Amino acid sequence: MEENLKNAKEAAKAGFTLVELLVVVAILGILGAVATMGMTGHTAKAKVTATRTTMGTIDAALESYATTHKLPKTQEEFVDALTKRPNDDEPALIKGGKDALNDAWGNPIQYTRKGKHVYLLRSAGEDEEFNTDDDILNDQE
């Protein structure tokens, strides 16, 4: 009997107490919160970079389009010019339909023709409102 009591005490010492487990869980929670907070700023920067990349692709497609056509006058003409096949022999300049002309937040990039050979591309940015400080513009203007 004394042997069993000794083995039971040793087994109890070998395991973790509830307090020790709670401390470990709390530490893991704190580390997870710190890691999540550190990634928040990077996500916003990544979306800005992705939107600028999309605008670069659109710029290249518009330059290609402008070699044989006049620049589109309206947003609708812009979408059609880049996403629709001109004929059965040629692919669309931008694959993926009109959704491929969206910014990283899923909103359509605004096209405005400024002149015969000049246009403006604008993303509303994170706040999804145009003409605010976080708008993203292409290089032309």
Residue 118: C-alpha distances to residues 51, 84, 94, 104 (Å): 20, 22, 20, 24
Q: Alpha helix (H) ranges present in 1-141? A: 2-14, 18-66, 75-83
At residue 29, the pLDDT reads 85
pLDDT by residue, tens only, the chain of 141 residues: 666 666 666 665 667 788 888 888 888 888 888 877 777 677 888 899 999 999 999 999 999 899 989 999 999 999 999 999 877 778 888 988 999 999 999 999 999 999 888 999 999 999 999 999 999 998 754
Topology (CATH) of 42-137: Glycoprotein, Type 4 Pilin (3.30.700)
Q: What are the residue boundaries of the structural domains of the chain, listed by start?
A: 42-137
Between CA 136 and CA 141, with CA 140 as vertex, the angle to 5 degrees is: 95
Residue 86: C-alpha distances to residues 66, 76, 80, 91, 113 (Å): 13, 15, 9, 7, 21
Q: Are 123 and 136 in contact (CB under 8 A)?
A: yes
